[in-house]
A = this chain, B = another copy of it.
């Protein structure tokens, strides 16, 4: 399983992904689900993927090496809308190539992708791209997307996140959301990849891999557990 969350805030972008892949509980491995394309001063794009790993790895390779006759890549597209369309085209190309054989052999053609970033002179944007290559865009009303095992970590985002949250708040919410997911689904696991991008910086602001025992993540996780228990113990008892 996978859990990734991408946030489009007024201050910039927060992208967080776990890195556990499983094909059954006896076949668990670590694969990065986050890819970055960065030309400092010119563009930053970050993509996170869930679904069939063969499909999503093919897409990552294609948008790096070139899609179609024009051999367009995420490093050559003029803006984020073109970037999302390119990822969509790559998905459909993989589907045309592998889809029939996969279906015949009972493998699901599944893929969900979050793509965020900015090209110089163009706005920062965040998209969620479906397996059919179509996509939607985050707005101030709904400033985040989740893919993979999304439900455990959603309530805290629904309560805490808005487009005006700071990047620091976004990082903390993403880590608490990830922590809730790790606790409830063992097929989502550390390490976690984290990217923070400050709007108009045109260079990645923070790029971290959070491993088992990371002091900050451990502190957040312990403090949050304790705070929840305290908060819970202070809830009023029913009068009945």
Contacts and interface: CB of A to CB of B under 8 A. Distances in A.
Interface in A131-177: 151-156, 158-160, 168, 171-173, 176
A122 interface: no
A213 interface: no
Given A152-B155, A154-B152, A184-B155, A172 B231 contact: no
Given A151-B184, A240-B208, A224 B229 contact: no
A154 B184 contact: yes
A227 interface: yes
A70 interface: no
Which bracket fits the contact residues of A?
35 or more
A106 interface: no
Nearest to A155: B180
Interface stretch (A41-49, A55-63, A74-82, A215-223): A215-223
Nearest to A180: B155
- Stoichiometry, copies per complex: 2
Nearest to A225: B159
Nearest to A230: B231
Given A151-B151, A154-B184, A168 B237 contact: yes
A225 B220 CA distance: 19
A183 B158 contact: yes
A24 interface: no
A231 B232 contact: no
Contact of A229 (B160, B184, B219): B160
A234 interface: yes
Given A151-B152, A159-B183, A219 B231 contact: no
29 contacts: A151-B184, A152-B155, A154-B184, A155-B155, A155-B183, A156-B228, A158-B184, A159-B225, A159-B229, A160-B229, A168-B237, A171-B238, A172-B232, A172-B235, A172-B237, A172-B238, A173-B232, A176-B235, A206-B240, A216-B238, A219-B236, A220-B235, A223-B234, A224-B231, A224-B235, A227-B232, A227-B235, A230-B231, A231-B231
The 7 closest A-B pairs by CB, nearest first: A227-B231, A151-B151, A155-B180, A154-B184, A172-B235, A168-B237, A152-B155
